[in-house]
Structure 1
């Protein structure tokens, strides 16, 4: 067994995680459904879901199968969900009795959040599973309710738990007690310093991680998703540092994510300076405690080429997080592919790789500690038509911000394609996808130095709570249509059952603008003589020598890709 423990830190990270686990839950459901497509029913033959999940048992003897996950967020972020999850009968809602106090006691309690239509339907389905009701009656109720559920989610998602269809273990959900987030005050690295070490938080969080790690047979790595737009990045950096000390031989793959709302224009020069300094400090700190960091989050998904066939509302994290979650699902598929022996049939998957191998491939040797770019094609184009050899590569669009539109002959890539469609809309075989992509790289004017390719026949399933973000040129199986479907401009899970996906991680000099911006802003606003952010950094707890260490770290990243950069700055 090669287990992965997933850690989600912060609001937008948990939005992405909610979609990610919905995909896994949908795969498991389709795999157990005798009426589903054979490509899903045969899931167990090529994907090992135990890599991400754990088997357990409640005190009542009920068997459970839950994500190997630690989710960290502010108090009140779980909405109507209990921090104990929904499977285990732990904890008590009884009021706390204080026996050492003889004075008057007043209790302040907020009204619990009500379950939305989707969560109500999950609860009803759980009750129906215990009853022998008629199938026809159940199907009729579901058909009517699904339309209402989709509309409800589009208009009312407030918490990441509002659209989560997954059961969580009680050790998974951690609310930062006493930390009720004001986004305007928690929007910088300084606001999050000492939160992890404050009180017993650090030990409590570490204990939850230890719970999942210690039951692993042979952990292959940690998968971190961190909302790095504000103070949660400081908490994540402290947590990562403790993990690096305790699990020094276990690689950490880190996705640093941002919602479109975090890119809004600053209201003042002070806020602009604070954001620029935060970006430099946050990225440097997070990257120093992981083996591979992937920045994710465009200022506007709706106006990007990544949304060519999508209808995104940037103001809804429910929308944008779905795109990023789909890409992370694709990238993580090789981690749970069953390795094939020399005589095994590769009709389902090829290109299995674990976290350590991916890290060595993309961040080893000459490009160590540089950031990696994430690209995606959603849906992936079919493997047919004119100039097919180049179409898939051209449709891959960056989900990493601030990158250059240039090729790098020294680039190293790892690509995953799954559920690709061939001629006539039929399912393309693993060998067909492999052959077409090899041709595409052969005909490319600037091929990468090396590319690892992973292929699976299983497409991305679209669960009911997925947002209605597909355009009217996307068909039921994710095929790209010649003519738009009349009616609504956007289509959701009731119209699209699955889609082909392609995602790619690449170590390339195209990331240079992202790195340069952070280095130059740190120098301009925090280190140079008379820098306007010096006082702000002191209030965050940073001394001069620590800032110079951060500058050196960023400079080494830049110099790895561009040897014109020197460590020296204009500071004395």
Structure 2
């Protein structure tokens, strides 16, 4: 077993995570469906890497994500922080406390109402149960809610990440932070998030919850963090990761630093702008020093990106943008769950398995650990040979990492590709060998990285019912790219598209230099230089001069290594 523990920190990361776990839940359901598509059977993919088997107090078997989700108090919507699988013991009635003789007042907030989608899930689960009336066992009548009603309600009625989640969570998975801030607008900078671990109690509880998931693993391969990098959650993650480094020094940590389009909105004052720039610099320095690979994801606008050729995304809807990043993360991390090469491995369904430590060694090498890496995606991916992409996944992928250099020729780059559910030009699913042959035959004609790793699986990305309607009219039912548009201009969703082929690329390249150099320059200008405008602000965040200089040195070293071709020497 090569288990992975997933940690989601912050609102946007949990939106991404909700879609991500919906994909996994859909894969599990399709694999167990006797009448389902054979392409989802015998996947050579081990779901136990991400999931844990358990049992309720009533002896009912459970299968839940090996997950720790962290967000602000009140962020769970209609979902209880104990999840929905295990019976939670009711809180004691304060009137029963015999040592108190004074008056008692109780303030109870109204629970959030479930939308049509969540109501229908509850009804479906009750339908599976049987009731006994007068000694006769009867089935509960089926729900009258149509799938189209469920889909349409989500396009207009998603306020929390739990509003479209169809997954059951373990009671130790969901944690709500409490503090002097009451809403995300006041939790908007690196300094304020440091309060969470300062008191000790919340930090210790988070450590205990993570320890629960780690210590039940047989042979854990690492931790994947998804962090909302636009506010105080980045410092929550950094403090948490410092504790992980103390307790599990050799544990590889992979981190996706995510940012939603709304985080790029213009700020009203110079003070706010300086605060945002310093936050970005401090966050990059701290987070990158505590993980093996950091992947910044989150474009200012997906609507205006190259992905808009086949997707119709509304930037104002977090429900939309998070779905794209979740799909990319699913594709990028699928190799961690493939069967490793060996006598019993079946390479006809998946090949190119690699674990977290392997991807770290591939992309970062031994000379420059703690690497900032670029994530590119093709969604949907083109066919192996055809009009869309000329048979090249390399030409079809577009960066989800902001502020990078475009069209940079970096002969020292290192790349790792994942290709899922690719089509051949004839419209049939390509075999693993066909993907490999096509990929390698065209790759060096386009780019010539120093090292390339390819993972491929025949299983495409399944589109679960609560996935948003973001597909354009050039995307077919199985995600194939069409030569002529489908009539109508309305975006298509899960009722029209059942699955899509995906391609993602992780690359270690000097194209990331502008991203790092911008943050280094802002840190020096507004934080380190004598009389810097942000000096007092950084002091209020708890940073002294020496620590700031260390951060600047850390970012400067990244820039130097990326500029220095000697870091790619044969000794790496």
The verdict on a shared fold, with TM-score over 0.5 as the criterion, is yes
CA deviation digits over 1:459-505, x for unaligned, max 9?
00000000001111111000111221112430000000000000111
Go from structure 1 to structure 2 and tell me whether the alpha carbon gap of 1:526 and 1:38 turns closer, same or farther (over 3 Å shift): same
Structure 2 partner of 1:103: 102
Residue range with higher mean Cα deviation, 335-344 or 423-432:
335-344
Q: In the alignment, is the contact (CA less than 8 A) between 2:19 and 2:322 conserved in 1? A: yes
Name which of 45, 49, 57 aligns with 1:59. 57
> Residue 481 of structure 1: SS of its match in structure 2?
coil
Structure 2 partner of 1:505: 506
Taking the aligned partners of 2:429 and 2:218, their CA distance within structure 1 comes to 36
Q: Cα offset for 1:106?
A: 1.8
Q: Which residues in structure 2 correspond to 1:466-545 (within 5 Å)? A: 466-545=467-546
> Residue 360 of structure 1: SS of its match in structure 2?
helix
Q: In the alignment, is the contact (CA less than 8 A) between 2:384 and 2:423 conserved in 1? A: yes
* Correspondence 1:68 to 2:59: no
Structure 2 partner of 1:20: 20
Structure 2 partner of 1:297: 298
* Correspondence 1:417 to 2:419: yes
Go from structure 1 to structure 2 and tell me whether the alpha carbon gap of 1:107 and 1:328 turns closer, same or farther (over 3 Å shift): same
Q: In the alignment, is the contact (CA less than 8 A) between 2:478 and 2:500 conserved in 1? A: yes
CA deviation digits over 1:149-204, x for unaligned, max 9?
11100001000000000000001011113465433321110111131232410110
Structure 2 partner of 1:113: 112
Structure 2 partner of 1:426: 428
Go from structure 1 to structure 2 and tell me whether the alpha carbon gap of 1:344 and 1:127 turns closer, same or farther (over 3 Å shift): closer
Go from structure 1 to structure 2 and tell me whether the alpha carbon gap of 1:388 and 1:82 turns closer, same or farther (over 3 Å shift): closer
Number of equivalences: 557
Q: In the alignment, is the contact (CA less than 8 A) between 1:462 and 1:499 conserved in 2? A: yes
TM-score, normalising length: structure 1: 0.94
> Residue 318 of structure 1: SS of its match in structure 2?
helix
Structure 2 partner of 1:362: 363
Q: Which residues in structure 2 correspond to 1:79-228 (within 5 Å)? A: 79-97=77-95, 98-131=97-130, 138=142, 141=143, 145-178=146-179, 181-228=182-229
Taking the aligned partners of 2:539 and 2:100, their CA distance within structure 1 comes to 42
Taking the aligned partners of 1:27 and 1:288, their CA distance within structure 2 comes to 35
Taking the aligned partners of 1:159 and 1:305, their CA distance within structure 2 comes to 28
Structure 2 partner of 1:408: 410
TM-score, normalising length: structure 2: 0.94
CA deviation digits over 1:402-429, x for unaligned, max 9?
0001121100111100100112211011
Taking the aligned partners of 1:127 and 1:17, their CA distance within structure 2 comes to 26
Taking the aligned partners of 1:239 and 1:556, their CA distance within structure 2 comes to 24
> Residue 512 of structure 1: SS of its match in structure 2?
helix
CA deviation digits over 1:127-153, x for unaligned, max 9?
011138789x84xx56x5211111100
Root mean square deviation of aligned Cα? 1.8
Taking the aligned partners of 1:77 and 1:451, their CA distance within structure 2 comes to 41
Q: In the alignment, is the contact (CA less than 8 A) between 1:389 and 1:436 conserved in 2? A: no
Structure 1 partner of 2:6: 6
Runs of at least 5 residues in structure 1 that lack an aligned partner in the other structure: 565-572
Residue range with higher mean Cα deviation, 387-396 or 14-23:
387-396
> Residue 425 of structure 1: SS of its match in structure 2?
coil
Residue range with higher mean Cα deviation, 165-174 or 99-108:
99-108
* Correspondence 1:272 to 2:270: no
Structure 2 partner of 1:391: 392
Runs of at least 5 residues in structure 2 that lack an aligned partner in the other structure: 131-136, 566-572
Go from structure 1 to structure 2 and tell me whether the alpha carbon gap of 1:8 and 1:275 turns closer, same or farther (over 3 Å shift): same
Q: Cα offset for 1:530?
A: 1.9
Taking the aligned partners of 1:178 and 1:126, their CA distance within structure 2 comes to 36
> Residue 196 of structure 1: SS of its match in structure 2?
helix
Go from structure 1 to structure 2 and tell me whether the alpha carbon gap of 1:516 and 1:472 turns closer, same or farther (over 3 Å shift): same
Taking the aligned partners of 2:300 and 2:389, their CA distance within structure 1 comes to 31
Q: Cα offset for 1:386?
A: 5.3
Q: In the alignment, is the contact (CA less than 8 A) between 2:389 and 2:395 conserved in 1? A: no
CA deviation digits over 1:45-100, x for unaligned, max 9?
x0110000001000000000000000011100000001111110023155445544
Taking the aligned partners of 1:67 and 1:300, their CA distance within structure 2 comes to 30
Go from structure 1 to structure 2 and tell me whether the alpha carbon gap of 1:133 and 1:179 turns closer, same or farther (over 3 Å shift): farther
> Residue 367 of structure 1: SS of its match in structure 2?
coil
CA deviation digits over 1:358-415, x for unaligned, max 9?
1111112233223000000000011122596653211100000000011211001111
Taking the aligned partners of 1:126 and 1:263, their CA distance within structure 2 comes to 41
CA deviation digits over 1:492-529, x for unaligned, max 9?
00000000000111000000000000000001111112
Structure 1 partner of 2:134: none
Structure 1 partner of 2:38: 38
